Amino acid sequence: MKKVKCYAPATVANVVCGYDILGFAIENPGDQVIVSFNHTHTTRITKIEGDEGKLPLDVKKNVVGHVVNLFLEKVKSRQGVDIELYKKMPLNSGLGSSAASSVAALVAINELFENPLTKGELLPLAMEGERLASGNAHADNVAPSLLGGLVLIRSYEPLDVIKLPFIKDLFVVSVHPDINVPTGEARKILKQQIPLQKAIEQWGNVAGLVSGFCTGDMDLVGRSMKDVIIEPIRSMLIPFFCEMKEIALENKAIGFGISGSGPSVFALCKNKDQADEISDRLYHLLNRHQIKSESQVTKMNNKGALII
């Protein structure tokens, strides 16, 4: 029986000033999904590993089952499908865990069906996975997980997704403190009205970040990685955020910020030595304060989801 296995990478959404519009993929971690036909007319999740028993096997409640069913609806198939999900990253980490699962499942099932849908057609289905996971069909994790690189979600209606020029050899430190910050909560604490003046500062920085990436000016990217709207509020949910940021910037990170809605944080670095140093220091800082964490160094990923 034909089986298809897909790897989809973790992602860092928001990217400091780019709240809700930017996200990038990283090489590691990433989820794996294996799909195969079965002889029933139903979609089944036959195996989940790496979730500490937290994810449901019910296909309607698990993003991989949900998006596979949406795919089958879209291609008008009543074929039965078995899904195995191998989680390689913590849930609710802020590294786009649900997005990686949805994207891996969709790219795998599309390959199993010999690619009837384009990536552009898979994307809205993956966003429906996000709606199931968090109540919000956001694209800033699924789009970079699918496409790789740094991705701009210019608009949702209509959906307009642009992969920005890729800068090679950027290293990313991601630190996941073992505390719980549910995405919904992290959204609720934001103010729904903001001062125009702050918004102008923010879009100046967004413009700087994007033009820095487009022209390869990493100093400009660094100067632009400032968030005057979201980070001052959300960082309160992350213990020792300011200390971690100070350490990262003192050790020459291009920039530092919250990954997605947290609690993971990330530092963008020009080389592996700096990234290793920062990773080490952040881990030890949290450790000294009795906060368990996973800290790792990886590269920015340009390929997105891949059949393996």
Question: Closest distance between a copy of itself and the C-beta of residue 99, in Å?
Answer: 19
CA 35 – CA 274 distance, rounded (Å): 39
Handedness of CA 174, 175, 178, 181 (dihedral sign): negative
Instruction: State how far the Cα of 116 lies from the Cα of 129, in Å rounded to an integer.
Output: 19
Count of residues in contact with a copy of itself, rule CB under 8 A? 41
Considering only 46, 115, 155, 271, the residue that binds a copy of itself (CB under 8 A) is 155
196 lines the binding site for a copy of itself (CB under 8 A): yes
Q: How far is CA 212 from the centre of its chain?
A: 21
Question: Does the protein bind a copy of itself through residue 164 (CB under 8 A)?
Answer: yes
80 vs 37: CA distance, rounded Å: 6
- Min dist CB 208 to a copy of itself, Å, is 4
Distance of closest approach, residue 17 Cβ to a copy of itself, in angstroms:
8
Which one, of 140, 149, 195, lies nearest residue 19 by Cα? Answer: 140
Cα distance between residue 267 and residue 275, in whole Å? 8
Of 153, 175, 247, 300, the one binding a copy of itself (CB under 8 A) is 153
Give the residue, chosen from 49, 52, 160, 185, that forms a contact with a copy of itself under the rule CB under 8 A.
160
With contact defined as beta carbons under 8 Å apart, do 109 and 63 qualify? Answer: no
Alpha carbons 278 and 262: distance in angstroms, whole number = 18
Q: Does 197 bind a copy of itself (CB under 8 A)?
A: yes
CA distances from 65 to 35, 41, 46, 181, 221 (A): 11, 14, 10, 25, 39
* DSSP reduced 3-state for 171: strand
Q: How far is the CB of 126 from a copy of itself (least distance, A)?
A: 19
Instruction: Decide: is 189 part of the binding site for a copy of itself (CB under 8 A).
Output: no
Is 101 among the annotated ligand-binding positions? no
Task: Convert residues 220-249 into a mask of x (bound to a copy of itself by CB under 8 A) and - (unbound).
Answer: x--xx----x--------------------
- Annotated ligand binding at 100? The verdict is yes
Structural contact between residues 159 and 124, judged by C-beta atoms closer than 8 angstroms = yes
Asked if 199 is part of the footprint of a copy of itself (rule: CB under 8 A), the reply reads yes
- Taking CB under 8 A as the binding criterion, the range among 76-84, 216-224, 248-256, 300-308 that sits at the site for a copy of itself is 216-224
Using rule CB under 8 A, residue 214 touches a copy of itself: yes
- Rank residues 19 and 241 by Cβ distance to a copy of itself and give the closer one: 19
Distances (CA, A) of 95 to 16, 90, 149, 213, 260: 14, 8, 15, 21, 7
In the complex, minimum distance from the CB of residue 209 to a copy of itself, in angstroms, rounded to a whole number = 8
Nearer to a copy of itself, 214 or 308 (CB): 214
Q: Would you say 190 is a known binding-site residue?
A: no
Residues of this chain that bind a copy of itself (CB under 8 A): 17-22, 152-155, 160, 162, 164-165, 190-197, 199-211, 214-215, 220, 223-224, 229
